[in-house]
Structure 1
Amino acid sequence: MVISFFYVPVGNAAEAASLGNLAIKENLAACANVFPVQSVFMWEAIMQEESEFVLVLKTMPHKKNALREFLESKHSYETPCILSWDAEVNAAYGSWVDRRVSGEIGT
Structure 2
Amino acid sequence: MPVVLVLTTVPDEESAEKLAQGALDARLAACVTELGKVRSRYRWKGAVETAQEIQLLFKTTVARALELERYIAAHHPYETPELLAWQANASNAYGQWVDTETQRPTHV
User: So what's the TM-score if we normalise by structure 1?
Assistant: 0.92
- What amino acid does structure 1 have at the position aligned with 2:98? V
Give the unaligned 5+ runs of structure 2: none
1:16, distance to aligned residue in structure 2 (A): 1.1
* 1:62-81 correspondence runs (5 A): 62-81=63-82
1:17, distance to aligned residue in structure 2 (A): 1.6
Distance in 2 (alpha carbons) for counterparts of 1:51 and 1:20? 18
SS of 1:70's equivalent in the other structure is helix
Render the CA deviation track for 1:10-48: whole Å, top value 9, x for unaligned: 111221121011100101000101121110001122211
Render the CA deviation track for 1:44-95: whole Å, top value 9, x for unaligned: 2221111001111000001011111111110010111111000001111111
- What amino acid does structure 2 have at the position aligned with 1:14? E
Give the unaligned 5+ runs of structure 1: none
SS of 1:24's equivalent in the other structure is helix
Q: How many residues align?
A: 104
Name the counterpart of 1:10: 10
Percent identity between the two aligned chains: 30
Distance in 2 (alpha carbons) for counterparts of 1:81 and 1:21? 18
User: So what's the TM-score if we normalise by structure 2?
Assistant: 0.92
SS of 2:56's equivalent in the other structure is strand
Distance in 2 (alpha carbons) for counterparts of 1:103 and 1:91? 20
Q: Is the aligned partner of 1:19 residue 2:16?
A: no
Runs (4 or more) in structure 1 with deviation over 3 Å come to none
